[in-house]
């Protein structure tokens, strides 16, 4: 039983790590949502997206989740007509990041919920392992 609980906690821990990376990337996207290029006509910050993949743990014979890639979103940048802006091109347009605040907040909420669910599983596994150890101690 303890091996199964240990495996469950390990699987949940991989989920915790993956979702913490996802939260960090979403936070970076939100922080840079208004960042423009340093020079006129240059590219602004490009939104990043996290991809997950399954990883098989041969030692325990179970699947884990891992971050497979942090890629740049290929969606087009937003163009805003601001002729006086230092990053404006010759036509007066400034390229702003391809970050959609609503999507980022929704992604953050989903990642937070998943993180909390994995954290709860780790806590429950730890409590059950502790209870098993207590039972073994009292049965001697």
Give residues with Cβ within 8 angstroms of 111, minimum separation 6.
Answer: 19, 22, 23, 26
Instruction: Convert the pLDDT of each residue in 57-89 to its tens digit.
Output: 777 777 889 999 999 999 999 999 999 898 999
pLDDT at 59: 78
| Cβ–Cβ under 8 Å, residues 53 and 70 | no
Tokens of 92: 């007066």
pLDDT at 2: 59
User: Alpha-carbon torsion 62, 65, 68, 73, what sign?
Assistant: positive
pLDDT at 49: 97
pLDDT at 97: 97
pLDDT at 1: 53
Instruction: Convert the pLDDT of each residue in 20-45 to its tens digit.
Output: 999 999 999 999 999 998 888 789 99
Instruction: Convert the pLDDT of each residue in 93-122 to its tens digit.
Output: 999 999 999 999 999 999 999 999 999 998
| 91 has pLDDT over 80 | yes
pLDDT at 11: 87
């Amino acid at each position: 039983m303890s091996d199964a609980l240990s495996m469950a906690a390990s699987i949940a821990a991989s989920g915790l790590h993956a979702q913490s990376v996802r939260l960090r990337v979403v936070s970076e996207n939100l922080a840079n949502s208004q960042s423009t290029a340093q020079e006129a006509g240059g590219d602004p910050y490009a939104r990043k997206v996290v991809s997950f993949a399954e990883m098989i743990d041969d030692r325990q014979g179970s699947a884990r989740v891992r971050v497979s890639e942090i890629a740049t979103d290929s969606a087009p940048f937003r163009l805003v007509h601001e002729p006086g802006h230092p990053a404006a091109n010759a036509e007066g347009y400034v390229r702003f990041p391809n970050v959609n605040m609503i999507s980022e907040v929704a992604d953050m909420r989903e990642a937070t919920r998943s993180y909390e669910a994995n954290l709860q599983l780790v806590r429950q596994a730890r409590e059950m392992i502790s209870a098993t150890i207590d039972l073994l101690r009292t049965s001697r």
